[in-house]
Amino acid sequence: MASVKLELDTQNIIDSFFDETKLLGIVTTVKDYRFCWNLNNMLGLNFRINHDIEIKLVRKKRTYFFSVYEYREPHSALCHYLYNNLYDGEYLLPEFKNLDFLWLMKNDTVTEDYLDQIKIMLRSIPGVQLVTELTNEKIKNKEYLIF
């Protein structure tokens, strides 16, 4: 009897996850816990590490854990996720080796004005060197951001 190889089509899951999202790339000289502390104190946010959605990847016969910080805006469906792009010399998204963090906003509409305000506030944080908007088309490994 011939064996049948089944393949999981993840494209619909990926498309659904990234529907109406905004993504920022951030370069900073500050460690993740200090960066989140700055975000919370200087911008009035409440990012907290969420171990339940931590990204676990196996590469080169090693396991890597990429922390994800989460902030849910009160009285809104908008959720903010801050991904650490580097763990123990390995990158979550190797195509963005120059970025330290990825900030994903989803579950509600993010206007261009709101996004511009976030970028301006991020640039005011000590140690932040670059803030750039990323389009979904630029991300080669989108599935790594899905939890």
Per-residue pLDDT reduced to its tens digit, 102-130 = 999 998 888 999 999 999 999 999 999 99
Q: Which residue has the higher pLDDT, 18 or 85?
A: 85
Q: What is the pLDDT averaged over residues 28-37?
A: 92
Residue 96 placed within a domain:
yes
pTM over 0.75, yes/no:
yes
Asked if the structure places residue 62 within a domain, the reply is yes
Q: Which domain holds residue 59?
A: 18-145
* Within a domain: 66: yes
Report the distance separating Cα 74 and Cα 5, nearest Å.
Answer: 46
Q: Which residues contact 99 (CB under 8 A, 6 or more apart)?
A: 25, 26, 27, 85, 93
Domain annotation covers residue 4: no
Domain at 138, CATH number? 3.30.310
Is 45 a domain residue? yes
Q: In percent, how much of the chain has pLDDT > 90?
A: 62
Q: What is the CA radius of gyration of the chain?
A: 16
Mean pLDDT of the chain: 88
Residue at 60 is within a domain: yes
For residue 97, tell me if it sits in a domain.
yes
Number of domains in the chain: 1
Q: Say if residue 16's pLDDT is above 70.
A: no
